Amino acid sequence: MENLEKAGLAVNYNKIPGTKPKSLPKRVHIWDETLRDGEQTPGVALTIDEKIEIAKKLDEVGTAIVAVGFPAVSEEEKKAVAAIAKEGLSKATVAAPARAVIPDMEACVEADVQEVPIFIATSDFRLKYQLRMTREEMLERLTECIEFGKEHGLIVDYIAEDATRSDMDFLCEAYRTAIDAGADKICIADTVGFVRPEVMKHITREIRENLWTKSKYKVPMAAHCHDDFGLATANTLAAIEEGVTYPHVCVNAYGERAGNAAFEEVVMALEELYGIDTGIETEKLYGLSKLVERHFVVPLPLHKAISGDNAFTHSSGIHSHGQLTHSMTYEPISPTLVGRRREFHLGKFVGRHFVEYLLKMGGVKATPEQAREITDRVKRTHEERKKSQSKVAFDKIKGELKDLMTGVSEREFWAIVFDVV
């Protein structure tokens, strides 16, 4: 985009000072949750070797914090976390989460991680119906666990689960309590993906103004957003606009339910639309995306931004012709920035200009009439092929994809129950 601007051919409103809030940070540190929340994608269960390979790749691309697993889940998971911690990452901090209970903290200590994000809800709804504790009990539990972590030399963070559905005064009280106990960072969690970007900005601004007025409470803020309404990336960017410097992301937007904010989307939006340094080597993003997809065995949608097969594929004749005249005509960024290459789809929308370009590249001479005939035949071939496509075959493919979701069926669950009980 920069070359176009220099030539006076395009306007980039993203660079107008008035469009950037004063609280926008100059540097953002990417906190990856692929091996923790990402692995909670239904049907996913990674081996230790797969976890290590993904962790190393995340480290290689420049990720600041890698949450590598949840040690309290099982002995096998604790072994996996410990194995990654033992491997040692060259750039990234190895983190593992814990509920606000001492046994979870002990599991993290035994796994020898460097950082422990402690999570416990602040919404009255969750306190009453899930945790069954009072606000006071919750604060006592939080303080105890943070102090335990600090006594064991850990970096400790506090993730306020369901923060976006919490009473603001109590939410800020919980953050102050955490910071008083020694928390190094605090996190705003939109646990059920419930807010609009403008609301996310409002909540983040309120927290910042409540805490940062006194320097003792000015610790870095993080944001953890879910995609239940398709707003995880937008809400993450909104939080960053209000001062968040540690966005939580998952490669390919994997995660619980509808997933989390996508690593590749957040990084490229920050780098290209905001001009914020993320420390990520963006040309390695596609390789990271494909590695994670392969190990998760969860196919990416073709139209997925940045990493989907169609993200840099042009079908329309108008678009293809435009791309041949200048690469920025129908692309916001060069595909090489994320380790990809441009592709063209031959079908019913193909144009004569693109056919003539292919003929030229292939060293084939054709008259204008022949080029038109070739173009028409390509269009007809695609249309006929589409007519013969079987919906039954499509349903079968969908079913086979669903079979990739490993797990225990309800029937198998009850068989286990009756065998044990």
Q: How far apart are CA 3 and CA 21, in angstroms?
A: 26
Q: Where are the beta strands (DSSP E) in 286-382?
A: 313-314, 343-344
pLDDT value of residue 393: 81
Q: What number of residues does the chain have?
A: 421
pLDDT higher for 263 or 362?
Answer: 263
Going from N- to C-terminal start, the domains of the chain cover: 26-296, 313-389
Residues 27-36: tens digit of each pLDDT: 999 999 999 9
pLDDT value of residue 347: 67
Q: What is the mean pLDDT of the chain?
A: 89
Q: CB under 8 Å, gap of 24 or more: what pairs does 147-153 form?
A: 147/181, 147/182, 148/102, 148/105, 149/105, 149/108, 149/116, 149/118, 149/182, 150/181, 150/182, 152/105, 152/109
pLDDT value of residue 324: 52
Residues 292-305: tens digit of each pLDDT: 999 999 999 989 99
- CB of 116 within 8 A of CB of 95? yes
pLDDT value of residue 321: 45
Residues 135-168: tens digit of each pLDDT: 999 999 999 999 999 999 999 999 999 999 999 9
pLDDT higher for 17 or 179?
Answer: 179
Residues 314-371: tens digit of each pLDDT: 764 444 444 555 556 667 888 999 998 877 767 666 766 777 777 777 787 888 887 7
Pair of tokens at residue 323: 């791309």
What architecture (CATH level 2) is domain 26-296?
Answer: Alpha-Beta Barrel (3.20)
Confidence of residue 59 (pLDDT cuts 50, 70, 90): very high
Pair of tokens at residue 168: 């603001």
pLDDT value of residue 281: 98
Residues 367-407: tens digit of each pLDDT: 888 778 777 777 777 777 777 777 778 788 888 877 777 78
Confidence of residue 15 (pLDDT cuts 50, 70, 90): confident
Percent of all residues in the chain with a pLDDT value above 70, rounded to a whole number: 92
